[in-house]
Amino acid sequence: DIQMTQSPSAVSASVGDRVTITCRASQGIKSLLVWYQQKPGEAPKLLIYGASSLQSGVPSRFSGSGSGTDFTLTITSLQPEDFATYYCQQADSFPLTFGQGTRLEIK
């Protein structure tokens, strides 16, 4: 199984800040990496696929990068609605696996 490790587990930031979340795969997954945002009581929402492609309707302040084993999700100019938990997911092979999540909190 491919293990996905996110860091940090939680981060505090203020509106307007820039935040970067890292996701590391235990083996190379090319660019087969997806990012989701989840707010309390809601289902996850697709943000980025193929490591760096922005899903339609997602604000351009979200961006993704990386390939192989190391990936990042960057949010520039944080907005109040961005405070949520973020998950990465590898799509390289079964079993499909998720990172443990990064909780983005308001400072």
CB 91, min distance to another protein, A:
2
DSSP annotation of 95 reads S
82/99 with CB nearer another protein = 99
Site residues, another protein (CB under 8 A): 1, 32, 34, 36, 43-46, 49-50, 55, 87, 89, 91-92, 94-101
User: Measured between alpha carbons, how far is residue 13 from residues 42, 52, 75, 94, 104 in Å?
Assistant: 22, 23, 11, 35, 7
Query: Shortest gap between Cβ of 103 and another protein (angstroms)?
Result: 11
- Which lies closer to another protein via its Cβ, residue 17 or residue 92? 92
Neighbours of 15 (CB within 10 A): 12
Nearer to another protein, 13 or 32 (CB): 32
Q: In the 8-state DSSP scheme, what is residue 18?
A: -
